[in-house]
A and B are shown apart, each in its own frame.
Chain A
Amino acid sequence: MRRLFKIEQDYKAIVIGGSAGSFQVISKLLSQLPSDFELPIIMCLHRLRHVRNGFVEALNIKSSIPIQEPTDKEPVRKGKFYLSPANYHLSIELGNTFALTTEDLMNNSRPSIDILLQTGAYAYRNKLIGILLSGANRDGAQGMKMINERGGLTIVQDPKDCLIDTMPVSALNITDIDHVLNVQDIIDFLLSVDKYIKTKS
């Protein structure tokens, strides 16, 4: 049975953070979205810093929309899926473009989920959906807090459903989270969002 969610906001983008134990989750999620999914999905997944190739290819085996790693200054486009490249932080600038930087590691990570989520919250305010999945460190918690403060919608993967629950639990500890969902419910939520956006346009 598909779960239906009531959606009442014209969302502009979805950002997803994940680390240890999130690959299977994201792979399943991407395989169950329609190939005409309306919103851009921007993912920051912890990955080896010095392996540039292979990750996108692995995700693309199942994804319904081919994923790309954005270049600096590239515009964020509707209906595209993006992944943070290795060894760069990914930000979203006002004016709906990507920015890449080589600043120090944040939370021991480059790319850092906090940086993507915080800049996303700044750029999209209440039009952003932030999703934090399984992971073994605290990266992303501050970013979820910022999304919440800017009026965006926050979802964490249910700790009971996570391989490693440190990341969603850290977010739950420091900010209010709108939905705590298992993977299938996250997918159903995104399908409800997509349906809403499609009926509006």
Chain B
Amino acid sequence: MQELEIAQLRALTDLLKSKYNYNFTDYAMSSFRRRIQRIIELYKFSSFDALLQKLNLGNQEFFHEFLSEITVNVTEMFRDPTFWIEIREKILPDLLNLNKTISIWHAGCSSGEEVLSMAILLREMGIEGRVRIVATDIDMAILKKAKEPVYSVKNMELNTKNYERAKGPHTLDRYYEEKSGKAYLDKSLLKDVIFREHNLVEGQVFSKFDLILCRNVMIYFNQSLQNQVLKVFHESLFKNSYLAVGSKESLIWCEIANKFLVVNNEEKIYKKIKD
């Protein structure tokens, strides 16, 4: 297939903005292009223009399917096990030392693997009652999945390995039941988690947090949108609280870098030191 040209992608983002009020203008170009090409193949559109025409009809149902396909929902429980060791041994103890209760925001929570990892960690540390969790995503359909987590058994193999590498004290199978080739995760882990729709591009601050996790989400944005989102995170954090991004993301290239201190460079955990 021919590579989509920038002018075509621009026509598409203009349409999404005017018709659906979603702004994808500042998404990172190369991955956005691949996602669009993937949708054209998946839905067997005869051309890029055919996709454009379909979107132009204003069908909300199709738009939401499109939205689910645009966003990348590949994730793992306990992704980067050493990150979770750091959270358990350093970050949470530090926060709970100073505060009776704390709140955590999973920004771009996708199908919920990271939220579940956190919930398991909190239960194992016996501090579930002291932590409020808010999990947000742009995509309502994926939030639904996050609330009722059912994962493939194949993915659970990887999740289990990650859990072991993160020095989990039990075995992961105590948190799920296998039925007809699927793993049904223990929903009681999520009973106090607040799931809500939130588009990082819109930039609303809705609460204050002690820890924000936004790992491998901003990589899909360009530099200017990253700067904008980081401003929202900065404003949403209490002073001396933490921001975690993906292991290969960095605040170095961002405007707001000087308001954060690198706490762990390997795991990309930052502390807000200036208002």
Among A72, A97, A146, contact of B249 (Cβ-Cβ < 8 Å): A72
Whether the pair A100, B74 counts as a contact (CB closer than 8 A) is: no
B82 to chain A, nearest CB (A): 8
Among A71, A88, A93, contact of B30 (Cβ-Cβ < 8 Å): A93
Q: B228: CB under 8 A from chain A?
A: no
- C-beta contact mask, A111-147 vs B, less than 8 Å → 1, else 0? 0000100110010000000000000000000000010
Whether the pair B30, A72 counts as a contact (CB closer than 8 A) is: no
Q: Kindly state the interface size class of chain B when it binds its partner.
A: 20 to 34
Can you name the residue of chain A whose Cβ is closest to the Cβ of B110? A102
Q: B220: CB under 8 A from chain A?
A: yes
Number of residue pairs across A and B with beta carbons under 8 Å?
Answer: 68
| A122 contact set on B, CB distance < 8 A | 3, 30
Q: Kindly state the interface size class of chain A when it binds its partner.
A: 20 to 34
A109 to chain B, nearest CB (A): 13
- C-beta contact mask, A63-92 vs B, less than 8 Å → 1, else 0? 000000111111000000000010010011
| A103 contact set on B, CB distance < 8 A | 31, 34-35, 72, 74
Alpha-carbon distance between A104 and B73 when the two chains are bound, in angstroms: 9
Can you name the residue of chain A whose Cβ is closest to the Cβ of B161? A50
A151 to chain B, nearest CB (A): 14
Among B6, B28, B72, B250, contact of A99 (Cβ-Cβ < 8 Å): B28
| B199 contact set on A, CB distance < 8 A | none
| B75 contact set on A, CB distance < 8 A | 102
Alpha-carbon distance between A72 and B219 when the two chains are bound, in angstroms: 6
Whether the pair B30, A119 counts as a contact (CB closer than 8 A) is: yes
Alpha-carbon distance between A119 and B29 when the two chains are bound, in angstroms: 10
Near A by CB (< 8 A), chain B positions 54-75 give 72, 74-75
Alpha-carbon distance between A85 and B30 when the two chains are bound, in angstroms: 18
Of A74, A91, A102, A146, chain B has the most CB atoms within 10 Å of the CB of: A102
Alpha-carbon distance between A88 and B252 when the two chains are bound, in angstroms: 19
Whether the pair B30, A91 counts as a contact (CB closer than 8 A) is: yes
Asked whether A52 and B252 contact (CB < 8 A) given A72-B219, A102-B74, the answer is no
| B72 contact set on A, CB distance < 8 A | 101-103
Among A69, A71, A101, contact of B31 (Cβ-Cβ < 8 Å): A101
Q: B247: CB under 8 A from chain A?
A: yes
Asked whether A104 and B74 contact (CB < 8 A) given A69-B248, A72-B249, the answer is yes
Among A73, A94, A102, A104, contact of B216 (Cβ-Cβ < 8 Å): A102
Alpha-carbon distance between A72 and B245 when the two chains are bound, in angstroms: 11
Asked whether A73 and B223 contact (CB < 8 A) given A92-B30, A93-B28, A93-B30, the answer is yes
Whether the pair B253, A74 counts as a contact (CB closer than 8 A) is: yes
Alpha-carbon distance between A119 and B248 when the two chains are bound, in angstroms: 19
Q: B226: CB under 8 A from chain A?
A: yes
| A92 contact set on B, CB distance < 8 A | 30
Among A71, A101, A102, contact of B252 (Cβ-Cβ < 8 Å): A71
Asked whether A100 and B248 contact (CB < 8 A) given A50-B161, A74-B253, A91-B31, the answer is yes
Binding site for B on A (CB under 8 A): 50, 52, 69-74, 85, 88, 91-94, 97, 99-104, 115, 118-119, 122, 146
Given known contacts A102-B74, A102-B75, what 4 new A-B pairs fall within 8 Å (CB)? A85-B248, A91-B30, A99-B30, A103-B34
9 pairs, CB–CB < 8 Å, chain A vs chain B: A72-B246, A88-B248, A93-B29, A100-B248, A101-B219, A102-B74, A102-B216, A103-B72, A119-B30
